[in-house]
Structure 1
Amino acid sequence: MRYAVMAPVAAGVTARPDWMGEFARHAEACGFESIVAVEHAVVVSRYSSVYPYASSGKMELADDCDIPDPLDLLMFLAAHTTRIELATGVLVLPNHHPVVLAKRAATIDALSGGRLRLCVGMGWMREEIEACGAEFETRGRRADEQIDVLRKLWDDRSPTGVDHDGRFFSFAGAMTYPKPARPGGIPIHIGGHSRAAARRAGRRGDGLQPLGVGGAELQGLIDLMRQEAEAADRDPDALEVTLGHLVSAITTEKAESLAARGANRIVLQTTPTTDLAAVKDELSACAQRLGLAGR
């Protein structure tokens, strides 16, 4: 089992450089596998879209909460660490042009020594996606093509570049460097709670991060991902499953229970507080409880 830590966006500290730099260094020293950064490019006040992960239909974050660009935040954290992996969770894919995203992600991966992992989702806030210039209704089909474009641009090393002629994106002879540091490019996981997310993970992704589901519904999504992988002649055993939990509540017994459901990684949320010393103590206690190989 691998354990990731979410950047504590709810505490309103993720745009504070000294706070985040020390947080990242401590998470790395404790032995956590990765740091995960969330995204909202823009939050539209008085949005009418329904947040699917709370009974209120509204996300827990205040509209004016600091939510740094996750890729820029991860690049900053890369400069403050040496080993810990850097992940998005979840990058709202419709907000991004894939040609530009391919460059930005490959740059982080190259400069961090191959430490980037992308977890992407389709987004739930119509107002945000439309403000970024994409159609809400076609975001799923657009995302499939975006993933294909990312992989094409990362994989191509021909002297004439790569061509793409799709419904949403088109280019010819495109060459983008640097390439990702790791062979095979940057892992792309799919985040979400829908069957469409599970199908996309099986057909195109490197893993699934189910959000807000459990029990039979969770197992159904994992099974569907594996079925879709097999149908696409892909190895379902190569696909990862990432689940969530709280730093304060996770135990080895609970981790074993999640592993039995198919989890390879657990993303942990710290208690939302601006008290850095308290958060560091919480991470240290969690790492000791889980037997991580940190100090």
Structure 2
Amino acid sequence: MEFALVLPVGLGVTAEPDEVGRIARHAEELGFESVSAVEHAVVISDTESRYPYAPDGRLPLPDDCPYPDPLELLAYLAAVTGRIGLSTGVLVLPNHNPVVLAKRLATLDRLSRGRLRICLGLGWMREEIEACGGDFRRRGRIADEAIDLMRALWRGQDPQGVAFDGEFFTLRGAHSHPKPHRASGVPLHIGGHSAAAARRAGRRGDGFQPLGLAGEELEAAVLLMRREAQEAGRDPAQIELTLGATLPRAADKVEWAGRLGADRLLLSGSQHATTVDALLEEMSEAARKLELKP
């Protein structure tokens, strides 16, 4: 099992180069597999949308909390580290044009020598998605097509270019270079809490990252993902499963995660890690208990 780190957006330092670089380098030195960046292109005050991961339905961070663009952030971290993986958790796919996004992901994967992993989500804040030009109501169907289109552009080697005929996107003679570092393309994981997210992961994802689920709901989502994979003619064992935990509880969660078939635990700082130094201490202690190897 691998162990990854959520970059601490709540500390307000993920847009501060010295501090966020310090966190990523410490994670690399300790033996963490990857670091993960979150996304909000814009936060809308007094949103009517319900945040699905808090009992009161409200985003737990202030409106002026810095959310740097995750891909720009990961590009910076690629330059100040040497080998640690670079991930999102999650990238809000409806905020992005898939043709442009395919180029950005391929470029970042190429320049980082294959360190990129993207976890995609459909987003919960309707006002944010609409501000970015997305269609909130149809975002699921559009996302499925966007995933297929990006992979077609990455695979495309025909001298005549890529042809793609979809409901929302149509291309003829399209050439997108450079290609990702890996011939298989950038791994695209699916994050979310809904049955639709589990189905999408089973049918299209390279991985599944359930969000905000526990107990029987989590087990049901994982089973649904695997059943959908089988029905689509895919091997469920090839779809990576990423589960979440806090740094102080990481060692206690390994057996639980293993029973569910997890490939990775994505770890966040506890509520007590209110400074970068406190977070680094939690990271060091978790690495010691998990016996991570630099």
Q: Tell me the TM-score normalised to structure 1 length.
A: 0.97
One-letter amino acid matched to 1:266: L
The reply to whether residue 59 of structure 1 matches residue 62 of structure 2 is: no
Equivalent residues in 2 for 1:68-79, closer than 5 Å: 68-79=68-79
One-letter amino acid matched to 2:264: R
Give the structure 2 partner of residue 137 of structure 1.
Answer: 137
Q: In structure 2, what is the Cα distance between the partners aligned to 1:153 and 1:274?
A: 43
Give the structure 2 partner of residue 229 of structure 1.
Answer: 229
Contact 2:103–2:177 (8 Å) recurs in 1:
yes
One-letter amino acid matched to 1:85: G
How far apart are 1:262 and its partner, in Å?
2.1
Give the structure 2 partner of residue 261 of structure 1.
Answer: 260
One-letter amino acid matched to 1:268: L
Give the structure 2 partner of residue 42 of structure 1.
Answer: 42
The reply to whether residue 173 of structure 1 matches residue 173 of structure 2 is: yes
Give the structure 1 partner of residue 2 of structure 2.
Answer: 2
One-letter amino acid matched to 1:59: L
Q: In structure 1, what is the Cα distance between the partners aligned to 2:236 and 2:268?
A: 28
Q: Which runs of 5+ in 1 are unaligned?
A: none
Give the structure 2 partner of residue 154 of structure 1.
Answer: 154
How far apart are 1:244 and its partner, in Å?
0.6
How far apart are 1:59 and its partner, in Å?
1.2
Deviations 1:138-174 (A, max 9, x none): 0000000000011001111121110112111111111
One-letter amino acid matched to 2:261: G
How far apart are 1:274 and its partner, in Å?
5.9
> Helix, strand or coil for the counterpart of 2:53?
coil
Deviations 1:65-103 (A, max 9, x none): 000000110000000111100001000000000000000
Percent sequence identity is 57
Give the structure 1 partner of residue 102 of structure 2.
Answer: 102
One-letter amino acid matched to 1:157: Q
Q: Tell me the TM-score normalised to structure 2 length.
A: 0.97
Q: Which runs of 5+ in 2 are unaligned?
A: none
Deviations 1:27-80 (A, max 9, x none): 000000000000001001110100010001011111110000001100000001
- Taking only aligned residues, the RMSD between alpha carbons, in angstroms, comes to 1.1
Q: In structure 1, what is the Cα distance between the partners aligned to 2:117 and 2:254?
A: 22
Contact 1:8–1:14 (8 Å) recurs in 2:
yes
Contact 2:11–2:276 (8 Å) recurs in 1:
no
Q: In structure 1, what is the Cα distance between the partners aligned to 2:141 and 2:102?
A: 18
Deviations 1:186-211 (A, max 9, x none): 11110001110011001110111001
Q: In structure 2, what is the Cα distance between the partners aligned to 1:90 and 1:119?
A: 5
How far apart are 1:256 and its partner, in Å?
1.3
Give the structure 2 partner of residue 192 of structure 1.
Answer: 192
